[in-house]
Amino acid sequence: MSAGAKVTEHHTLVEAAKRVPAGIVCLLSALAFHRMTTQIPHEVWLAIDVKARKPRADWPPMRIVRFSGRARTFGVEEHVIEGVEVKVTSRAKTVADCFKYRNKIGIDVAVEALRDYLRKRGRSMDDLLRAAEACRVSRVMKPYMESFS
């Protein structure tokens, strides 16, 4: 943490980013960061490359998922939190990731994220469709998108 930076509600994301610089905050942690869920993750969800060594850190608790290719690089935003650069998946990419990992986090969480995304201002259907293509979940998401629009 840089001098003068205040501790925020996202402090565990900062600590995870310091310990795993190549990690990308994703799934439940990204949903919470973007205020798109009622879930409060008790661990930081981080995406790393499929070939990367699993990080060893005892704090904060982390759930590691492995992304590869376009699914790892598409829709990654950089946010400065407490003076530290933290990579977080975009809102649209986070929704697509939730559908991709629906068996890990639950389809109800993915559907809630999609519903929230579609309700908020500034949403982009084009961004959502591109994210779904990058994560190869277009067919899975399409029926849900049509039922909510």
Determine the average pLDDT of the residues in 106-123.
Answer: 91
pLDDT in tens, 34-89: 999 887 889 999 999 999 998 887 889 999 999 998 899 999 999 999 999 999 99
In this prediction the pTM is 0.91
Q: Poorest-confidence range of 84-88, 116-120, 140-144, 145-149?
A: 145-149
Rounded Cα gap, residues 44 and 25, in angstroms: 7
Q: Are 110 and 95 in contact (CB under 8 A)?
A: yes
